[in-house]
Structure 1
Amino acid sequence: MTVSIASFPIAPPPAHSVVYAALDLGTNNCRLLVARPASGGFRVLDAFSRIVRLGEGLARTGALSDAAMDRTIAALAVCAQKVRSRRVDHLRAVATEACRRASNCGHFLDRVRAETGLEIETIPASEEARLVLAGCGPLLDPHAARALLFDIGGGSTELLWVGLEGREPEMLGYASLPMGVVTLADRYGGREVSPDLYYAMRDEATSALALFDDEHGISDWIQRGRMQMLGSSGTVTTLAGVHLELPRYNRSLVDGIVLDRTSIDAASDRLLAMDYAGRAAHPCIGPERADLVLAGCAILSAITGRWPCPRLRVADRGVREGILYGLMARNGRRGRMGRT
């Protein structure tokens, strides 16, 4: 889903202030956030998100296609222009699963540098998990002992097991599952999804969760009632928008909302009952994500089925916010802040 700048609280550029930017290049999306510190958090100056499908066909060929690289570089050129026009002082740009896996990632990043001037670093899954935790940390309930945080991406799904008994959230374990909405849709198809096809995707995702569950005893913590679940991804934000019956996606109504399992299942069932045209026409999905959203729902269904936590908190935030917090902390600002 393309997120317009109007989805964020935009502030006019200040005359004298340090400006920070975070760029997250994933398997499916290219996202930029430009902000400056503000009282108790940061204020967004500019934002950009475009579906680029950088990892389209990657699972089959092992390389980024020319068409995918061209699409992505066009989006990155827009980001570079925004960075220049906002006179950004500190920028960190990262790439995740698609670039980690692609045999021609070096060639692609050389093109990005030559054609846009942007320097992008490919980060390991452990760093991606750390940034997700930093970005979503303000939404975690400190009264719980543990949290399961997940991010369903285009090429991978990140799972984080988080301790909340100290002063700051502590990542006790993480796993990066090599499946996301693009990789599953590429293998199973995303336009015509029958119930049997949907359940096959869900079963594959369920099998991938077993080792992480056994390693950390997550199911036992759920039975004790001392844990929470938080999801950060386009899948969970889309389902929140479907549940709220929004006439158009609105981040301010979605970020931080709590959904119970009945609401999650009902929203997923509504999407599964739609054909491709119906999903494409939905205001919280659109044609760019209509063939991907059910793969995300299948992964989410596997997660909530394996770990039946009664409630899920939705986060429309993640890597970019984590980058901004880190940049501001290194520049003498507070490390845990919220958007304003």
Structure 2
Amino acid sequence: MKLDVRKSSSVTTNTELNQEVSDQNHLFAAIDLGSNSFHMIIARLVHGEVRVLEKMGEKVQLASGLDEHQNIAQEAQDRALECLSRFAQRLKGIEKSAVRLVATNTLRVAKNAAQFKRKIESMLEIPMEVIAGQEEARLIYLGVAHTLADDSGRRLVMDIGGGSTEFIIGERFEAKELESLHMGCVSYREQFFADGEITEVQFNKAVTAASRELLNIRDNYLRMGWQEAVGASGSIKAVANVLSELDICHDGITRSGLMELKKRVISLGNSANLDQLGVRKERLGVFPSGLAILCASFEVLAIDVMHYSDGALREGVLYDMLGRIQHEDVRERTIQALAERYHLDQNHASTVERTTMMAYQQVKRDWGLSAPYYSDLLRWAARLHEIGLTISHSQYHKHGAYLLEHSYLPGFSKQVQKNLAVLVRCHRRKLLPLLFQDYSPEEAEPMMRLTLLLRLAVLLRHERTGDVLAEFWLNVNRKQITIEFAEEWLQAHPLTLADLEMEADYLSKMEFKLEVVTRLAE
């Protein structure tokens, strides 16, 4: 496609920088949409110290709403939205950017998760992150670590959720080993105690099933070892409280204490009778399944004693969010680690990143991309756009997309990983609408626009000389893109002009029009 290169004497430049200022007295909130319970924590940052103001939690039991087709039933969705409507009232007065909303196992596996996600985001006007199992484990560890003494030595952290159970070995604030196993107190209740009956046969079946899951991590975890075992969240807290109230254990949960509690639970025969042991009403149904998972964990991992910590996923999300504000963003460490692991040309990546941001600053308002999320996504994609070269130069944009979508990236939700993968997949060669077919129209439009900015930056740095790029001016109007260069510069770079002609042809398949303009010397 031959470009129409026009001449112009107009000046249209935008050098405004997007600056964010964090007021230490602002409120922050983290919401955890678990498979069993929804939790919210509200805190204030005062002189670098996090002061928790309020915690809220409700048993929604989202996992029990999964039908045989792995769709969340309407009744379960209604329970969830009713809970969130109450959370929303408490969130009034807190800036949207100071609230982080994450979802776990049930929304990872539900077939209709995307539709339900849109309902939640519409109600709260906050983006929801569906986090992978390992990312959930990392955040749980972070929440637990911030509630314990900052001691040296390794600790094992365990969290029994509604649909999954996380195991983490870490030291101080750093997780060393992360696993998320497909067993939870709600899913195991449905599988082994659906009618409320508790028999020794059924209880042992639940323990055996959990033990099989644990065999996948046993050898590695025992080899690493730990000095202290810590439990988090509701199921382990409920067991610890009952053991204490029954005068079985007073300083943590012990293996012998679990065996004694198991006998008493089975003797009562039905979950409805567990209130006789001091189990709270809202936990009656999931108590036997949580206990079975805990018994299996103590046996397979040879745990002698475990102490309970109030820290959990919601606290981890809060501290992770505050870390980003205080420029301790784990996502930046992840991007840098990827660049080093896959031996990227970081000098070239840096020049592409700078060029990308030059273009972004000029069009962010006209294209509705002013949110910090878009600039972050664009920066990360620019830094990693050549990651696929570690596999092969041929089709390396496709290899890079695969690596980004399927690797564990600490700090990133599944959706952000997918978005990064799409940008890297689309940064060169053919560009077709089907590459964005998994997005809703509202999501597809900004992703296409970010893609075009990355493509232009890569094209303009084609020579890989590392030289400072001459100034260019970019204007957009919906699907019209005009890029302007000094006349003498464009004449001196015929290869760039040829690249732009080819790019105009690629963009026409997406119904975008690219026009090149030369600026007359004054």
TM-score (norm 2): 0.53
Amino acid at match of 2:127: E
Contact 2:237 2:308 in 1 (8 A): yes
2:203 pairs with 1:209: no
2:84 pairs with 1:42: no
Q: Shift of the alpha carbon at 1:173?
A: 2.2
Q: How does 1:191-340 map to 2 (within 5 A)?
A: 191-214=196-219, 216=220, 218-220=221-223, 227-245=227-245, 258-274=252-268, 275-280=270-275, 283-286=278-281, 288-332=282-326
Amino acid at match of 2:186: V
Residue of structure 1 equivalent to 2:109: 101
One of 18, 25, 28 as aligned partner of 2:36 = 28
Q: Distance in 1 between matches of 2:77 and 2:65?
A: 12
Amino acid at match of 1:183: S
Amino acid at match of 1:83: L
CA deviation map 1:239-296 (0-9, x unaligned): 11112219xxxxxxx9xx633323333334333333323224655421x321111101
Amino acid at match of 1:175: E
2:193 pairs with 1:189: yes
2:185 pairs with 1:177: no
Amino acid at match of 2:82: A
Contact 1:157 1:179 in 2 (8 A): yes
Contact 2:99 2:126 in 1 (8 A): no
Amino acid at match of 1:244: S
Amino acid at match of 2:222: S
Residue of structure 2 equivalent to 1:142: 151
Contact 1:26 1:154 in 2 (8 A): yes
CA deviation map 1:50-74 (0-9, x unaligned): 1111121427321111000010010
Q: Shift of the alpha carbon at 1:187?
A: 1.4
Q: Distance in 2 between matches of 1:283 and 1:38?
A: 39
- Shift of the 141–269 alpha-carbon distance from structure 1 to 2, 3 Å rule, reads farther
Q: Shift of the alpha carbon at 1:126?
A: 1.9
Contact 1:19 1:88 in 2 (8 A): no
Identity, % of aligned positions = 28
Contact 2:44 2:53 in 1 (8 A): yes
Of the two structures, which has the highest relative contact order with CA contacts closer than 8 Å and spacing of 6 or more?
A: 1
Q: Distance in 1 between matches of 2:152 and 2:53?
A: 33
TM-score (norm 1): 0.80
Amino acid at match of 1:134: L
Contact 1:228 1:309 in 2 (8 A): no
2:104 pairs with 1:76: no
Higher helix share: 2
- Greater C-alpha radius of gyration: 2
Q: How does 1:123-142 map to 2 (within 5 A)?
A: 123-138=131-146, 139=148, 142=151
Contact 1:280 1:290 in 2 (8 A): yes
Contact 1:30 1:49 in 2 (8 A): yes
Residue of structure 2 equivalent to 1:156: 164
Residue of structure 2 equivalent to 1:117: 125
Q: Distance in 2 between matches of 1:325 and 1:262?
A: 35
- Shift of the 44–36 alpha-carbon distance from structure 1 to 2, 3 Å rule, reads same
Q: How does 1:55-66 map to 2 (within 5 A)?
A: 55-58=63-66, 60-66=68-74
Q: Shift of the alpha carbon at 1:88?
A: 6.9
Larger mean CA deviation between 269-278 and 44-53 belongs to: 269-278
- Shift of the 82–57 alpha-carbon distance from structure 1 to 2, 3 Å rule, reads closer
Q: SS of the residue aligned with 1:155?
A: coil
Contact 1:20 1:88 in 2 (8 A): no
- Shift of the 270–129 alpha-carbon distance from structure 1 to 2, 3 Å rule, reads same
Contact 1:80 1:117 in 2 (8 A): no
Amino acid at match of 1:241: N
- Shift of the 281–110 alpha-carbon distance from structure 1 to 2, 3 Å rule, reads farther
In structure 2, runs of 5+ residues without a counterpart are 1-23, 330-522
CA deviation map 1:291-335 (0-9, x unaligned): 111101110001000122222121222111111112222223999
Larger mean CA deviation between 267-276 and 104-113 belongs to: 267-276
